[in-house]
Structure 1
Amino acid sequence: MTGRLLASGREADVFEIDGTRVLRRYRRDADVTAEAEAMRYVGALDYPVPEVHSASGIDMVLERLDGPTMATSGLPPAECASILADLHRRLHELPPWPDAPAGTSIVHLDLHPENVLMTARGPVVIDWCNVRADDPDLDTAMTALILAEVSLWDHPMSALARATLDEFLAIAPGDPRRLVADVAAQRRGQTVTLTPDELEVVDRAVSLVRG
């Protein structure tokens, strides 16, 4: 039995278990094992993620976190960009898995303001289903591209996304523009949770990122 619904994303729902735990359940066929292992790995290296209590099939029991997302926190764009850039930098500096290809880093590939919770202990990154070892510039490119897309949508956070994009491009580690036109745009174009109207702006979003 699940408890009260606390939040719903594009792929998963979060239910209350008790005062310290939540159940995150995918609405699609999924195996959360690799995602949970990655979260435990980066968490053991002091990267800010929810504690994983258990994981099986489509379900993960996670630490319950209190606080708004960055998108709804009221933080100014410059601070949002600074936090995003710092979270990328910290993640990419972690030692990757022993079998990771040479020259790669751990990348989140969906690190944007709605996937950062502003908690009492600081920013905490959620939704790790895309995590893998890859070029860190792809990670920052994905963040920049998502911000650019949201800025073009009819979305409550469109103005914040555009202002945050400009600030992020100025301070992001690496080069978020290098892979945005081909690799990042291709990934976004294949995202099954985006609507046709949302997919339609990807090329325009690439142009915004490239400047």
Structure 2
Amino acid sequence: MTGPLLASGREADVYALDERRVLRRYRRDADVTGEVDAMRHLAGAGYPVPAVYEAAGRDMVLERLDGPTMAQALVTAALTLDQAATHLAELLRRLHEVPPGPGAPAGTALLHLDLHPENVLMTARGPVVIDWCNARPGDPDLDTGLTALILAQVAVDPRHEWSAPAGALLSAFLRLAPGAPTRLLDEVVRFRDWQLSGTERLDLAAERVLACAR
């Protein structure tokens, strides 16, 4: 039996099982095999991901992590914008240095493709990256550009309470980000548009990324 609901994302819910484990369950039909393979591969390389205990169909039993999301830590001032930017840049750099595994095209890295402050937990052992459903081999600049675009989406939304801090975080992140975050920006926008099913305009966010990168 599942315990209380701990969190809900765009596609999945997380339930407590006990003090050590959580159940992450997709609300749609899903096969978590690829996601689990990516997480176990990264864990074997020393990258900070939750441990996977069991997986089948649309369910994963994962390590229960302590600590707030990076976004929550920013809200409470437990983390500064410069610290958050440093963590994001370092997590992307470390991720793209992990060999992507057998069968990956030459010159590619394993990408997260949704690495932003809501998908980083600030735990006692340091930042841990969650939500690997988009993981796949590809060009690292696509991953870094997507992180920048997601921050920019918040920054250009005047209704969002964190619009101004997100803009500052974006600028700090772009100063530290590995690779060339704007090189594949057109492709990044197309991917993000697909992620959101065409529900949001991204042109202003892309312009903000370019302006902050200058």
Global fold match (TM > 0.5): yes
CA contact (8 A) 1:145 1:205 kept: yes
Tell me which stretches of 4 or more aligned residues in structure 1 moved more than 6 Å. none
Other-structure match for 2:184 = 179
Q: Percent identity?
A: 61
Superposition deviation, residue 116 in structure 1: 0.2
Other-structure match for 2:39 = 39
**Aligned 1:152-171 pairs, distance under 5 A:** 152-153=156-157, 154-171=159-176
Q: Does 1:138 find its partner at 2:150? A: no
The one-character-per-residue Cα deviations of 1:7-59 (angstroms, maximum 9, x if unpaired) are: 11111110000000000011112111110110000011100000000111111
Structure 1: which 5+ runs fail to align? none
CA contact (8 A) 1:69 1:117 kept: yes
Other-structure match for 1:126 = 130
**Aligned 1:16-165 pairs, distance under 5 A:** 16-73=16-73, 74=77, 75-153=79-157, 154-165=159-170
Q: Does 1:3 find its partner at 2:11? A: no
Alpha-carbon spacing, 1:193–1:50, altered in 2? closer, same or farther (3 Å): farther
Q: Give the TM-score of the pair, scaled to structure 1.
A: 0.94
Matches of 1:97 and 1:158, distance apart in 2: 38
CA contact (8 A) 1:10 1:193 kept: no
Superposition deviation, residue 159 in structure 1: 2.5
Matches of 1:71 and 1:175, distance apart in 2: 24
Other-structure match for 1:206 = 206
Superposition deviation, residue 193 in structure 1: 6.2
| Partner amino acid, structure 2, of 1:174 | G
Q: Secondary structure at the match of 1:190?
A: helix
CA contact (8 A) 1:11 1:193 kept: no
Matches of 1:84 and 1:105, distance apart in 2: 17
Q: What is the CA RMSD across the aligned residues, in angstroms? A: 1.2
Q: Secondary structure at the match of 1:165?
A: helix
CA contact (8 A) 2:156 2:208 kept: no
Superposition deviation, residue 78 in structure 1: 1.0
Superposition deviation, residue 160 in structure 1: 2.4
Q: Give the TM-score of the pair, scaled to structure 2.
A: 0.93
The one-character-per-residue Cα deviations of 1:45-88 (angstroms, maximum 9, x if unpaired) are: 10000000011111100000010000110311111110000000
CA contact (8 A) 1:52 1:63 kept: yes
Matches of 2:109 and 2:131, distance apart in 1: 18
The one-character-per-residue Cα deviations of 1:130-170 (angstroms, maximum 9, x if unpaired) are: 00110000000000000000112322332322111000111
